[in-house]
Amino acid sequence: MAGKLTLDELREAVACGEIDTVLVCQIDMQGRLMGKRFQAEFFVDQAWQETHGCNYLQATDMEMETVSGYKSSGWQSGYGDYTMKPDLATLRRIPWLEGTALVLCDLLDHHTHQEVPHSPRAILKKQLARLEQMGMKGFMGTELEFFLFKDSYEEASRKNYKDLDLVSDYNEDYHIFQTTKEENVMRAIRKGLQGANITVECSKGEASAGQEEINVLYAEAITMADNHCIIKNACKEIAWQQGQSVSFMAKWHDDSAGNSSHIHQSLWSLDGESLFYDPSAKHGMSELMRNYMAGLLKHAREVTYFLAPNINSYKRFVKGTFAPTKTIWSMDNRTAGYRVCGESSKSVRVECRVGGGDLNPYLAIAAEIAAGIDGINNKLELAAAYVGDAYESGSEVEEIPSTLREATVALSESAMLREAFSDEVIDHYVHAARWEQAEYDRRVTDWEVQRGFERS
């Protein structure tokens, strides 16, 4: 496919002057690309084997704060390096950046040369190895929603992110005329991703003014997570090049819908047969699929942090906004936390609707797989599908955690995740969650001042 590169093809492109820069990137805790820009000649000569990056990149918050209290890195150990090992299967051209290629890296301990267990790619790869031992592989699709603004990032910052100019004045869900007005950015995104070895299905307007969605081809789990992070970075860079900006915040404004990242998932045999599909079963859902989904539901509260990792994430869970509030499943019902799609076909799958646009796809997918494996191993029974408006379901139906504080407790107390990920990994992310909460708790918001300055 266009954009995909082997090392030899990269060498040829460098030799003829087509490519002069190689982005060598790791994925941080927030799902962002972090790394270095290599002169291409040096990369193909030496750096394709390995490079290094400070270990604090896996122990910072969104502001790149050097957070104390992590066991893996800190001032007490001098913030040493991790080895960044390029995964050459991810090597590709980046068409929207002149003369540029990109490769993603696994992180290795500088001394043991083992993968860093709390790094996002390692966490997902561990769960995929468990699936492979069971004779299965996971296929995923992460839908990404974001808001598009006429303001540049620099203009938005100067305006203190107030009175921003959305690209649309009205709900543009599936709206062709309005999205025609946005094609300067959205066409560039589609073409750019297609040229970077990511198969684009479509873009569309979403259910709020200025909201967009980009959908790409369903893929094996590690490929989907890699693509997800590249897509987010591409959308930001391409919008910036057009003098505009995008935001993947879960809830950027009181009056706007939230940004989701729904995760479609199914399991397949190693030789390419759907293990979720049983033509003789009700809705075509195999027993294995039902067990997997029962695991998702049983552990839904425990995995919420990996689907909603920030304070802002929980502002999205609002009744009547297409964001779920209950941990129930239903057939093709967008009010439920888990929706079955592709009924009675080989594409039958479960869509987790809990995740926001701010999730880290490696962590979210890994947590979903771990919960599903638990359901399979314990042959958990799937409850009957919910029918009707899930927002109006009674108190007997379990709620999605409504705050980061609540989700952090569920994460910390999860025996399933501690067994699947290890205590070390869970404690690492519990510490990140508690830091995020503490940073928010000490801040005075605009809402508090406007409400209480005179009247309190």
DSSP state for residue 365 in the 8-state scheme: H
- Region 227-244: mean pLDDT is 98
pLDDT band at residue 85, thresholds of 50, 70 and 90?
very high
Task: Output the average pLDDT for the chain.
Answer: 95
Residue range 131-142, pLDDT digits in tens: 999 999 999 999
Residue pointed to by tokens 């002069």: 20
Q: How many CA atoms lie within 13 A of 114 on its CB side?
A: 5
Give the amino acid at 165: D
Q: Look at residue 27 and tell me whether its pLDDT is greater than 70.
A: yes
Asked whether this chain's domains 7-116 and 144-259 adopt the same fold, the reply is: no
CA distance 113 to 131: 24
pLDDT of residue 248: 98
pLDDT bin (cut points 50, 70, 90) of residue 184 is very high
The candidate with the shortest Cα–Cα distance to 245, out of 235, 254, 255, 253, is 235
Give how far Cα 251 sits from Cα of 199, 210, 310, 313, 324, Å.
28, 13, 11, 7, 14
Counting Cβ atoms within 10 Å, is residue 17 exposed (0-12), middle (13-18) or buried (19+)?
A: exposed
What pLDDT is stored for residue 75 in this prediction? 86
Tell me if the domain spanning 274-456 has CATH number 3.30.590.10: yes
Residue 62: band (very low, low, confident or very high) from pLDDT cuts 50, 70, 90? very high
Q: How far apart are CA 406 and CA 369, in angstroms?
A: 22
Map residue 219 onto helix, strand or coil: strand
Average pLDDT over residues 288-309: 98
According to CATH, the topology of domain 7-116 is: Ubiquitin-like (UB roll) (3.10.20)
Mean pLDDT of 141-165: 97
Q: For residue 333, what pLDDT band results from cuts at 50, 70 and 90?
A: confident
Are 320 and 264 within 8 A, CB to CB? no
Compute the distance between CA of residue 260 and CA of residue 250 in angstroms, rounded to an integer.
7
CA-based angle 49:50:51, to the nearest 5? 145
**Mean pLDDT, range 83-107, rounded to an integer:** 98
Q: How much is the average pLDDT of 234-244?
A: 98
Please give the full DSSP string across 278-317, using - where no structure is assigned: -TTSGGGB-HHHHHHHHHHHHTHHHHHHHHS-SGGGGGG-
Domain-wise residue ranges, the chain: 7-116, 144-259, 274-456
Q: Are 445 and 254 in contact (CB under 8 A)?
A: no
Q: How far is CA 101 from the centre of its chain?
A: 22
- Report residue 405 as tokens: 């504080």
Q: Is the pLDDT of residue 293 over 70?
A: yes
Whether the per-residue pLDDT at 375 is higher than 90: the answer is: yes
User: Is this model's pTM higher than 0.95 or not?
Assistant: yes
Q: What is the mean pLDDT of residues 292-306?
A: 98
Tokens 């592709």 found at: 342
Give the model's pLDDT for residue 288.
Answer: 98
Q: Which of 42-46, 115-119, 338-342, 393-397 has the lowest mean pLDDT?
A: 393-397
Is the distance from CB of 29 to CB of 58 less than 8 angstroms?
yes
What number is the average pLDDT over the span 345-352? Answer: 95
Distances (CA, A) of 206 to 110, 179, 388: 45, 10, 23
Q: Is the pLDDT reported for residue 7 higher than 90?
A: yes
Instruction: Give the residue-averaged pLDDT of 247-260.
Output: 95
- What is the mean predicted confidence (pLDDT) over 308-312? 97
**Mean pLDDT of all residues in 20-40:** 98
Residues 6+ apart with CB under 8 A from 78: none
Place of tokens 């209290």: 69
CATH class of 144-259: alpha beta
**pLDDT score recorded for residue 392:** 81
Maximum CA extent, the chain: 69
- The reported pLDDT for the residue numbered 368 is 98
Confirm if 332 and 349 have CB atoms less than 8 A apart: no
Measured distance between the N- and C-terminal CA atoms of the chain, rounded to whole angstroms: 62
Instruction: In whole angstroms, give the CA distance from residue 185 to residue 250.
Output: 21
List Cα–Cα distances, 204 to 130, 144, 227, 271, 329, in angstroms: 36, 11, 19, 34, 26
pLDDT of residue 320: 83
Record the tokens describing residue 149, joined without a space.
């603004």
